[in-house]
A and B are shown apart, each in its own frame.
Chain A
Amino acid sequence: MTNHWIDLKNSDVILIMGANPAENHPISFRWVMAAKDRGATVIHVDPRFTRTSTQADIYASLRSGTDIAFLGGLIKFILDNDLYQKEYVVEYTNASYLVHSDYTFDAGIFSGFQSDKATYDKSTWWYQMGEDGIQLMDRTLQDANCVFQLMRQHYARYDLETVSNITGTPVADLRRVYEAVASTGRPDRVATIMYAMGWTQHTHGAQNIRAATIIQSLLGNMGMAGGGINALRGESNVQGSTDHGLLFHLLPGYLAAPRAKFQALADYIDANTPKCSDPLSANWWQNFGKYAVSLLKWLYGDHATADNEFGYGWLPKLADGGNYSWLTYWPTMRSGKIKGFIAWGQNPAVSSTHANGVRQALEHLEWMVTVNLWDTETSSFWQRPGVDPATIQTEVFMLPCAASVEKEGSITNSGRWAQWRYTAAEAPGEAMSDGWIINQIMRRLRQLYAAAPGPNADPILNLAWEYGEGEIDTHQVARQINGWATSDVKDKDGNVIVAGGKQVKNFTQLQADGSTACACWIYSGSYNEEGNMMARRDPVDTHPQGLGLCSNWAWAWPLNRRIIYNRASVTMRGEPIDPARALIRWNAAEKKWEGDVPDGGWPPGERLPFIMRRGGRARLMGPSMADGPFPEHYEPWESPVFNPLHPQETNPALWDLEKDAKGATHAFPLVGTTYRVSEHWQTGAMTRNLPWLAEMQPEMFVEISPQLAAERGIANGEQVLVESARGAIEAVALVTPRFQPFDIGGQIVHEVGMPYHWGYTGLVKGGSANELTPPVGDANTMIPETKAFLCNVRKLPGGNGRKEV
């Protein structure tokens, strides 16, 4: 989230799209309802009328996978009707930048496409640069080659009728949504966007978010209280795990993971440090080297010295061009290249797209360790229905672990609040905390390497792993995450800023010379000499206008900033754009900012607000995306209709490793999508084992429209077969008018939806929706496209063994 949960109450218009928060983030609705009580308009755009839709003032349906068409139409509507905030757009976005004269978009392909590699050479998407190293601009926004005009031209094709013919949304509904959202393109109104996996899990998922960026930037809603783009995280600490380097291409604090071509630390730092000569740009990533070296000092302690590049050589390097994301694991495992697998707190046999491929891949392992609360489908893959355990040689170790409330530590919510929790109950039986388990593994690894050092012993033996023998002290870890001075830190004049051994105040004190260590720079300030800021429990909202910042409750990264890019809520003169929601305000007499922690303390006008962007401005045109600088509508990898915009049906840069897993429309004519329900959690391990929740949603079901049910002769409550090119599962047919067929340019398209919570272990069992979903991924993130695929639903051949209801 750019903003935070409570801030939803400050919105005038809440666009919920690609998300179903009433069901999957029900507590968020406390604040959605608070906004409604203030008179806010709530909009829900979704293929299916859900529990969220019941609270929406406007519900609009759309066919899964067509969000960019929907949002592209909104961009055109805003531009055509002059509903954007001009000063904001000129000052705070790259609208005025002149783009390379060779940039083109033709027949669905951007300039620079290399069809043999299915990737783009992005050089023509970049800006024209002046001799001073600053991009050329036309602040009148009239130049035909400026971002603003290229954007207008790009979305000129997205008129209401064209959009409706793609999305299936009635034109009247499109207009209602567009008018409501665009009504916030003025200083005294603000809209927020709530999204989740319904936006990300597409072959163009990242571009869905980019489209939101364009809309919120045009309307001047970024950095505002009640505004922003808010990712509703699907798991209570997924924000924290991403922050701390869960993903293959990132080290903690969103530092790019080193590639093989950067064998020297200086090259690695140089390649990841953006350069900008514009004095108005803070260009915050210019500090990359300080954070990278501090991370190395934390990893390798006294072994990290300037002479050995702080141990940079011990860090694993990704192969140049190598991709180690989720979709690559399973074909690699099936090829025998991966021999062991630790499934820690995850259940890929149910959670992963193309789950049958995952289950088959696990059979090729020599060993697997599962760390979980339960016996899951993953730990029991070798005895799943339809396989003979005698044919599977994988040795499986199950380590029972403590639940989140059975251990102490921080948990970071979607709004970036790190909140400290204490142990509420002791873990049962032999269950141990994750920290204890990883400590035992690491201690034994080190003993083995010490006894017989192999070629890779140095990274293990030189690691600063000083956590004792048993339980890891989470306070010690949290202090390391905050960072400390390994020796005296001095300013230019030689004065000691931080004495050696003391905690740094925050990341502004981190150094690139090895005098500081820090495990995750964005959390620096969370546990400094003032104590554990994450454990603060003062619920009082100190903002004079009651914006709900609650700044003394827990701690938000970075620097306890509750709303990021908040300098965009004031003009370059320092005046709040919306005085009724003055998130920050410049106190000229005392020469300081008041309100939220600003994005840098410079006085008004001295810096541009989007400090994490090289040039300081929000990007209407995004030249670093893998699949185009403007979001463009492409059909999902599997789709029953043709793309009416151009002959390029699907995203040309998408990730399809297993092309033979694709289904054909004649065999699988229905659009399928997946989702969750309130009553179950992810793969169901925690909820299908809990009787109180299992009784509420006992069986796998598929929701289908009454029209489709009539066509197929399916009765409500009847057991049916759902099939795709990847698998077939049984489910209870839930016939409901909450699904309606789509009119796609005269072609009737039916969509069906399934929760993905079921599997073959637990108290209640059932087919896994992910047996049907495809192994294809987004061009930028490689996230699988589980939200739009082809399937079919039919009556069970030979009757279904249960009475029709």
Chain B
Amino acid sequence: MSNAMLIDLTRCIGCRGCQAACKQWHDLPAESTRNLGSYQNPPKTSGKTWTLISFDEITVDGQLDWVFAKRQCMHCQHPACASACTVGALHKTADGPVAYDAAKCIGCRYCQYACPYDIPAYEWDQTLGLIGKCDFCVDRQAAGLEPACVKACPTEALVFGKRSDLLAEARRRLARTPHNYVQHIYGEHEAGGASMLYLSSVPFASLGFPTLAAEPATAYTELIMRQTPGIALGVAAGASAVYWIIRRRQMMQEQAAAPATVTTAESAEEVQS
């Protein structure tokens, strides 16, 4: 039975220890960010930010709540990204992680389009682009360790274990304090099920989680895949060129405006290089 993670949003205090621990374990660079009127930063997961906490102010029955949700790859049971991958760079491991092999990746970004959760992120500003996403600490798991994010969580909002055990634990929590939860284990059935299982006090749709059928998304992707491998490299090259032009224009605008920018060390180097 594969490993999974139970993410109980009702226990999350939004401290973002998981977010920092992920960057630390994987030695991921910081992004250049701005405060966009929210605590959430970076705004979304990317090749440099594999997990983050989203901050949603939600009013339920006239009561304000502020819901923190950890976002990362769902590690689907039947990953659409893997079936969309033309070269086998993504595959579901027996232990649970949807693993990524950068050496095989050709940067076609099919996985990005296939994923129902909008997770695999292409690192546009790298010359030779690669995909970046949560790897469920496949290396730590292989060494018998829990994922870095779980290790950092102070409130047991994140629990690591066998998927069957965590589903049982989730059901136990839903039954023990039903008023604390919407009666839904997100990830149990969505798109054929996932290794990431969520519990929440508010409807998942209100947090922007996609509403998905129980059918694996792979059924569609495999159909599309058969028709497209020939144009993959062409699309990739074209997209990179468009990105380069857009990015260059942005940089020139930024330099002209000279705003009170907030720049981290890594990103400053990138802008200069």
Q: Which residues of A contact B (CB under 8 A)?
A: 22-23, 26-27, 29-30, 33, 49, 51-55, 677-679, 691-699, 701, 716-717, 719, 730, 732-738, 763-766, 801-802, 805
Please encode chain B, from 234 to 270, with 1 for each CB lying within 8 Å of some chain A CB and 0 for all others. Answer: 0000000000000000000000010110111111000
Q: Does B156 contact A (CB under 8 A)?
A: yes
Q: Does B88 contact A (CB under 8 A)?
A: no
CB neighbours (8 Å) of B32 from chain A are 695
Please encode chain B, from 29 to 45, with 1 for each CB lying within 8 Å of some chain A CB and 0 for all others. Answer: 11111111111011000
With both chains docked as a complex, state the minimum distance between the C-beta of B57 and any C-beta of chain A, in angstroms. Answer: 6
Q: Do the beta carbons of A51 and B14 come within 8 Å of each other?
A: yes
5 A-B pairs besides A692-B20, A695-B41, A730-B260 with CB distance below 8 A are: A691-B29, A696-B39, A732-B34, A764-B264, A802-B260
Q: Do the beta carbons of A679 and B33 come within 8 Å of each other?
A: no
Q: Does B139 contact A (CB under 8 A)?
A: no
Q: Do the beta carbons of B14 and A732 come within 8 Å of each other?
A: no
How far apart sit A695 and B39, CA to CA, in the bound complex (Å)? Answer: 11
Q: Does B93 contact A (CB under 8 A)?
A: no
Q: Does B24 contact A (CB under 8 A)?
A: yes
How far apart sit A679 and B32, CA to CA, in the bound complex (Å)? Answer: 16
Interface size counted on chain B using CB atoms at 8 A: 42
CB neighbours (8 Å) of A52 from chain B are 13
Q: Do the beta carbons of A699 and B34 come within 8 Å of each other?
A: yes
Q: Does B184 contact A (CB under 8 A)?
A: no
Please encode chain B, from 212 to 227, with 1 for each CB lying within 8 Å of some chain A CB and 0 for all others. Answer: 0000000000000000
How far apart sit A735 and B35, CA to CA, in the bound complex (Å)? Answer: 12
With both chains docked as a complex, state the minimum distance between the C-beta of A308 and any C-beta of chain B, in angstroms. Answer: 53
CB neighbours (8 Å) of A732 from chain B are 34-35, 37
With both chains docked as a complex, state the minimum distance between the C-beta of A25 and any C-beta of chain B, in angstroms. Answer: 10
CB neighbours (8 Å) of A737 from chain B are 57, 59, 64
Tell which of A29, A694, A716 touches B30, judged by Cβ atoms closer than 8 Å: A694
CB neighbours (8 Å) of A691 from chain B are 29-30, 264-267
Chain B: CB-nearest residue to A691: B30
With both chains docked as a complex, state the minimum distance between the C-beta of B242 and any C-beta of chain A, in angstroms. Answer: 23
Tell which of A29, A54, A805 touches B37, judged by Cβ atoms closer than 8 Å: A805
Q: Which of B152-183 contact A (CB under 8 A)?
A: 154-156
CB neighbours (8 Å) of A733 from chain B are 37
How far apart sit A730 and B38, CA to CA, in the bound complex (Å)? Answer: 17
Tell which of A694, A717, A765 touches B36, judged by Cβ atoms closer than 8 Å: A717
With both chains docked as a complex, state the minimum distance between the C-beta of A176 and any C-beta of chain B, in angstroms. Answer: 13
Contact A53:B41 (CB < 8 A) given known A29-B154, A738-B57: no
With both chains docked as a complex, state the minimum distance between the C-beta of A708 and any C-beta of chain B, in angstroms. Answer: 14
Q: Does B17 contact A (CB under 8 A)?
A: yes
CB neighbours (8 Å) of A29 from chain B are 13, 15, 154-155
Contact A697:B64 (CB < 8 A) given known A22-B13, A54-B14, A692-B23: no
Q: Do the beta carbons of B35 and A696 come within 8 Å of each other?
A: no
Contact A802:B29 (CB < 8 A) given known A695-B41, A717-B35: no
CB neighbours (8 Å) of B20 from chain A are 692-693, 696
Q: Which residues of B contact A (CB under 8 A)?
A: 11, 13-17, 19-20, 23-24, 29-39, 41-42, 57, 59, 64-68, 154-156, 257, 259-260, 262-267
Contact A698:B37 (CB < 8 A) given known A51-B15, A763-B263, A801-B257: no
Q: Do the beta carbons of B41 and A697 come within 8 Å of each other?
A: yes
How far apart sit A49 and B65, CA to CA, in the bound complex (Å)? Answer: 9
CB neighbours (8 Å) of A763 from chain B are 263-265
CB neighbours (8 Å) of B266 from chain A are 691
With both chains docked as a complex, state the minimum distance between the C-beta of A405 and any C-beta of chain B, in angstroms. Answer: 14
Tell which of A27, A53, A697 touches B154, judged by Cβ atoms closer than 8 Å: A27
Chain A: CB-nearest residue to B201: A54
With both chains docked as a complex, state the minimum distance between the C-beta of A375 and any C-beta of chain B, in angstroms. Answer: 14
Contact A734:B13 (CB < 8 A) given known A33-B156, A49-B66, A695-B32: no
- Which 6 A-B pairs rank lowest in CB-CB distance, beginning with the nearest? A691-B30, A717-B37, A716-B37, A26-B15, A698-B262, A691-B264
With both chains docked as a complex, state the minimum distance between the C-beta of B169 and any C-beta of chain A, in angstroms. Answer: 13
Tell which of B13, B17, B38 touches A54, judged by Cβ atoms closer than 8 Å: B13
CB neighbours (8 Å) of B24 from chain A are 692
How far apart sit A717 and B19, CA to CA, in the bound complex (Å)? Answer: 23
Chain B: CB-nearest residue to A21: B13
With both chains docked as a complex, state the minimum distance between the C-beta of B267 and any C-beta of chain A, in angstroms. Answer: 8
With both chains docked as a complex, state the minimum distance between the C-beta of B108 and any C-beta of chain A, in angstroms. Answer: 29
Contact A26:B154 (CB < 8 A) given known A691-B266, A697-B41: yes
How far apart sit A764 and B264, CA to CA, in the bound complex (Å)? Answer: 7
How far apart sit A22 and B31, CA to CA, in the bound complex (Å)? Answer: 25
CB neighbours (8 Å) of A735 from chain B are 37
CB neighbours (8 Å) of B263 from chain A are 763-764
Q: Do the beta carbons of B155 and A698 come within 8 Å of each other?
A: no
In the assembled complex, 13 residue pairs joining A and B whose CB atoms fall closer than 8 Å, in A order, are A26-B13, A26-B15, A51-B68, A54-B14, A54-B68, A694-B30, A694-B262, A695-B31, A696-B19, A696-B20, A698-B34, A701-B35, A732-B34
Tell which of A27, A693, A738, A801 touches B260, judged by Cβ atoms closer than 8 Å: A801
Q: Do the beta carbons of B35 and A698 come within 8 Å of each other?
A: yes
Q: Do the beta carbons of A678 and B15 come within 8 Å of each other?
A: yes
With both chains docked as a complex, state the minimum distance between the C-beta of B221 and any C-beta of chain A, in angstroms. Answer: 33
Contact A49:B64 (CB < 8 A) given known A695-B42, A763-B264: yes
Q: Do the beta carbons of B16 and A696 come within 8 Å of each other?
A: yes
CB neighbours (8 Å) of A719 from chain B are 260
CB neighbours (8 Å) of A695 from chain B are 30-33, 41-42, 264
How far apart sit A701 and B40, CA to CA, in the bound complex (Å)? Answer: 13
Tell which of B16, B66, B267 touches A53, judged by Cβ atoms closer than 8 Å: B66
Q: Do the beta carbons of A22 and B15 come within 8 Å of each other?
A: yes
Tell which of B16, B260, B262, B267 touches A678, judged by Cβ atoms closer than 8 Å: B16
Chain A: CB-nearest residue to B12: A54
Q: Do the beta carbons of A699 and B30 come within 8 Å of each other?
A: no
Q: Do the beta carbons of B30 and A678 come within 8 Å of each other?
A: no
Chain A: CB-nearest residue to B63: A59
Q: Do the beta carbons of B13 and A51 come within 8 Å of each other?
A: yes
How far apart sit A733 and B42, CA to CA, in the bound complex (Å)? Answer: 18
Chain B: CB-nearest residue to A51: B14
Q: Do the beta carbons of A33 and B264 come within 8 Å of each other?
A: no
Contact A23:B155 (CB < 8 A) given known A695-B32, A717-B35: no
Q: Do the beta carbons of A678 and B14 come within 8 Å of each other?
A: yes
With both chains docked as a complex, state the minimum distance between the C-beta of B22 and any C-beta of chain A, in angstroms. Answer: 9
Chain B: CB-nearest residue to A36: B11
How far apart sit A737 and B36, CA to CA, in the bound complex (Å)? Answer: 16
Chain A: CB-nearest residue to B10: A55
CB neighbours (8 Å) of B265 from chain A are 691, 763
Tell which of A27, A33, A51, A696 touches B66, judged by Cβ atoms closer than 8 Å: A51
How far apart sit A695 and B34, CA to CA, in the bound complex (Å)? Answer: 8
With both chains docked as a complex, state the minimum distance between the C-beta of B37 and any C-beta of chain A, in angstroms. Answer: 3
Q: Do the beta carbons of A26 and B35 come within 8 Å of each other?
A: no
CB neighbours (8 Å) of B16 from chain A are 678-679, 696
Chain A: CB-nearest residue to B67: A54
Contact A30:B155 (CB < 8 A) given known A734-B38, A801-B260: yes
Chain B: CB-nearest residue to A27: B154
CB neighbours (8 Å) of B57 from chain A are 736-738
CB neighbours (8 Å) of B156 from chain A are 30, 33
How far apart sit A22 and B59, CA to CA, in the bound complex (Å)? Answer: 21
With both chains docked as a complex, state the minimum distance between the C-beta of A23 and any C-beta of chain B, in angstroms. Answer: 7
CB neighbours (8 Å) of B39 from chain A are 677, 696-697
Q: Do the beta carbons of B30 and A692 come within 8 Å of each other?
A: yes
Q: Do the beta carbons of B64 and A698 come within 8 Å of each other?
A: no
Contact A801:B259 (CB < 8 A) given known A695-B41, A737-B64: yes
Q: Do the beta carbons of A33 and B34 come within 8 Å of each other?
A: no
Q: Do the beta carbons of B264 and A694 come within 8 Å of each other?
A: yes
With both chains docked as a complex, state the minimum distance between the C-beta of A365 and any C-beta of chain B, in angstroms. Answer: 30
How far apart sit A735 and B57, CA to CA, in the bound complex (Å)? Answer: 11
With both chains docked as a complex, state the minimum distance between the C-beta of B268 and any C-beta of chain A, in angstroms. Answer: 8
Chain A: CB-nearest residue to B176: A37
How far apart sit A717 and B24, CA to CA, in the bound complex (Å)? Answer: 29
With both chains docked as a complex, state the minimum distance between the C-beta of B168 and any C-beta of chain A, in angstroms. Answer: 18
CB neighbours (8 Å) of A54 from chain B are 13-14, 65-68
With both chains docked as a complex, state the minimum distance between the C-beta of B207 and any C-beta of chain A, in angstroms. Answer: 14
